[in-house]
Structure 1
Amino acid sequence: MPKRPHLVDALAGFGVTFKTMFKKPITEEYPEKPGPTAKRYHGRHQLNRYEDGLEKCIGCELCAWACPADAIFVEGADNTDAERFSPGERYGRVYQINYLRCIGCGLCIEACPTRALTMTNDYELADDNRADLIYGKDELLAPLGPDMTAPPHAMAPGSTDEDYYRGHIRADGLATSLGMPTVTTHQKTPEPVEEVVL
């Protein structure tokens, strides 16, 4: 089989270049006009709140144990009647995520039992200072909504921590006090079994 001359190979290579020369360029005007991200993009983390403002984080440290990069540090503390930050016994007193280590895998999200930790679409995490890339609890907490009260404050009157976890709490109290239906589980009584005599 005869070899192709080098000139033909060169022209074939330049053909690709010539084709792209006349196409309209695709230029994103970042950072002036940042483009949209995918709906399920995993960006910066966020610590969520219940509808009355109490924090969802219970300081269990499961997210820190699940992190393969050792990027999360959590220190839990006990709630008291005078100072309550979350429903239940404990809350996350110290919460830090080191974005110099975080690989964005989302295993911390899967480990969280109360859905306190989620990931947002915010991807602008660059900085010129390493210390500023260790986010503390104040930077990770979701902002207070218009009807929320900043903790510490008491739980909704007549509620338990289970009411919070099941979503029965609204900004102005327990859902049952607002006339909203609550989900109840009914157990079926077993049907009698006929006795067979041989």
Structure 2
Amino acid sequence: MSESQDPTSPEGAKQRVWDPIAGFGVTFRTMFKKVVTEQYPFEKLPTAPRFHGRHQLNRWPDGLEKCIGCELCAWACPADAIYVEGASNTEDERFSPGERYGRVYQINYLRCILCGLCIEACPTRALTMTNEYELADDNRADLIYEKSDLLAPLLPGMEQPPHPMRLGDDEGDYYRGTTR
């Protein structure tokens, strides 16, 4: 047994006395510091400006959908969380200014890792990410968001699709931002 482990030695007695005082010193130092407690459900702190939260499918100012059903977001998703099924627009039923639109659009938030690669792949900026981060649910089926859950709400002056193009003569006017 070494001298420091021997309780009868002077170093052993010093250790027996000093160790509890040092331990209580840590307690006393932290006892008077300001408490950092987050009251999460009641007080929600703002997120960072570039936070990646829930996805949103955007609209043009007249209400047509920006999504053209190209499926590039689904190809870019590393978790295979996005399913898109495109369909062709007709003159009687127009959902987007282009030839196609996303007839079925689903994001499975059980798989999604919120990486943002899908929004980088979107050629029309139809898909963006909001600051909404409360995505938990007690039902797995409710975590598969359909197109109706993801579409941006209609603002004043917007019309619910399907309807004819209102911002130009062709889809090029929409994408360039030139209006009649």
The TM-score, its normalising length taken from structure 2, stands at 0.87
Give the distance between the partners of 1:162 and 1:103, measured in 2 at CA.
34
Partner of residue 32, structure 1: 42
Over 3 Å counting, the alpha-carbon distance change for 1:159 and 1:6 in structure 2 is farther
How many pairs align?
169
SS at match of 2:56: strand
Question: 2:125 matched to 1:115?
Answer: yes
Name the amino acid aligned to 2:59: R
Quote the RMSD (CA, aligned, Å). Answer: 1.8
Which runs of 5 or more residues in structure 1 are unaligned? 169-173, 178-198
**What pairs up with 1:118-197 in 2 under 5 angstroms?**
118-156=128-166, 158-168=168-178, 174=179, 177=180
The TM-score, its normalising length taken from structure 1, stands at 0.79
**What pairs up with 1:71-86 in 2 under 5 angstroms?**
71-86=81-96
Which runs of 5 or more residues in structure 2 are unaligned? 5-10
Name the amino acid aligned to 2:160: A
Match among 102, 106, 109 for residue 112 of structure 2: 102
Answer with 1 or 2: which has the greater Rg: 2
Deviations 1:59-90 (A, max 9, x none): 00000000000000000000000000001100
Give the distance between the partners of 1:30 and 1:108, measured in 2 at CA.
29
Percent of counterpart pairs with the same letter?
A: 74
| C-alpha deviation, 1:30, in angstroms | 1.9
**Contact between 2:167 and 2:174, CA under 8 Å: does it hold in 1?**
no
